[in-house]
Amino acid sequence: MTTASGLSVSPQSKNHYEVLDGLRGVAALLVVAFHTLEPNDRGIRFNQIINHGYLAVDFFFLLSGFVVAYAYDDRWPRMSQWDFYKRRLIRLQPMIVMGSLIGGALFYFQRGPAFPLIAAIPSWKMIAVMLFGCTLLPLPTQLDIRGWDEMHPLDGPAWSLFFEYIANILYAVWLRKISTRWLSVLTGLSAILLIHMLVTGEGDAIGGWALNGAQLHIGFARLLFPFLAGMLLMRSGKRIHVRHGFYLCSVLLLICFALPRFGGPSHLWMNGLYEAFCIIAVFPVIVAVGAGNLKATDASNRLCRTLGDLSYPLYLTHYPLIYIYTGWITQSPRSLGERAGWGVLLWVTAVAIGYACLKLYDEPVRAWLSRRFLRSNRPAAAVQVSGTDPAFSNDPTRF
């Protein structure tokens, strides 16, 4: 089968990139740590500890472009757009619903000085927002019930899934059809858009979660280059083979996220250049290394598989706990020991909730939806329902 890039790929010969799964899990754990530490900066972004942890979203977009192109570029002669959309909905939508439900269940526990609107929000309005959030449609700022102008005020990180859906639609309608040459041109133009946003704005990639012009500009700038670059990296066939690639790339991600902010308040552009370098240069290298390391020990593969399975439920369920922690910190002065102790407990609880959602809800629901709505050329008995992604039982990726 020949892809849009001109590469010949057989679906039966595709490998599963365990290391990329593991790196997605590492990024998810780090972004939870970043969000846990964020309320301790007292609203001053220059004081953050894992200062660039929000770049995990840009890394996720890059991984998405790579694995979606890898899994689907060669399928279109035998797959319709609706088949593609069904697969993506089955993969992504169940946890979007769960994230909104958890956000609604914990909403009134977050009331306090940090979120003064909550005390005045009637339950019917919260429930309406919760049900609306289950669709992933963006909420206008006029209907915000928290005060942060989020398009998904019950589960903040869902904004990135809104852009993920846009990327998937663009891929199915248009991007899958273009040549590698034109894909390279688009990737270069999107890199310019990203750099311009980073060096002329606040000097960082923070933003994209509100339904207004400024935030949509940030969101699309953050989406387009990583997703297109991921597709281009897959089609180019560039792979880097190094020993212990998963552990090396995990350390690189930690360094990228944890380095102090550059330039300070008076030279915002310096930090913007650093983050552009991470997104445009370092992250593609990390993915190339992850994709180039197919042979690993059984223990390493099990770790990567577990982290990959956990990453998506963890990402979409942890933030309601962050709202509670933020409200608690702002109520009155807290000692370092108190903040650290409750922060560690939050992180552990978030991982436990994410894992429980994976095993008790996400995997069973996706397995049922796959049996109900996906056509398969194999006998029903051959469809494996396990820790591997049931919605992609024939795919080399769990994304």
What digits encode the pLDDT tens for the residues 218-268? 999 999 999 999 999 999 999 999 989 999 999 999 999 999 999 989 999
Contact 2, 74 (CB under 8 A): yes
pLDDT for residue 382 is more than 80 = no
- The arithmetic mean of pLDDT across residues 93-99, rounded, is 98
What digits encode the pLDDT tens for the residues 317-339? 999 999 999 999 999 889 999 99
CA dihedral 197, 200, 203, 209 (to 10 degrees): -40
- The arithmetic mean of pLDDT across residues 89-115, rounded, is 97
The reported pLDDT for the residue numbered 296 is: 67
Assign 376 a pLDDT band (cuts: 50, 70, 90): low
Write down the residue that tokens 């807290």 correspond to.
334
pLDDT for residue 5 is more than 50 = no
The reported pLDDT for the residue numbered 42 is: 74
Percent of the chain with pLDDT over 70: 90
The reported pLDDT for the residue numbered 152 is: 97
Percent of the chain with pLDDT over 90: 82
- The arithmetic mean of pLDDT across residues 301-320, rounded, is 96
Give just the sign of the alpha carbon dihedral 93, 98, 104, 107: negative
In the predicted model, what is the mean pLDDT of the chain?
A: 90
Using alpha carbons, list the distances in angstroms from residue 172 to 15, 70, 315, 327. 22, 13, 25, 41
Assign 383 a pLDDT band (cuts: 50, 70, 90): very low
Residue 42 three-state SS: coil
What digits encode the pLDDT tens for the residues 132-185? 999 999 999 889 999 999 999 999 999 999 999 999 999 999 999 999 999 999
The reported pLDDT for the residue numbered 388 is: 34
Give just the sign of the alpha carbon dihedral 60, 2, 392, 21: negative
pLDDT for residue 363 is more than 70 = yes
Write down the residue that tokens 């439900």 correspond to.
101
- Lowest-confidence pick of 37-41, 117-121, 324-328: 37-41
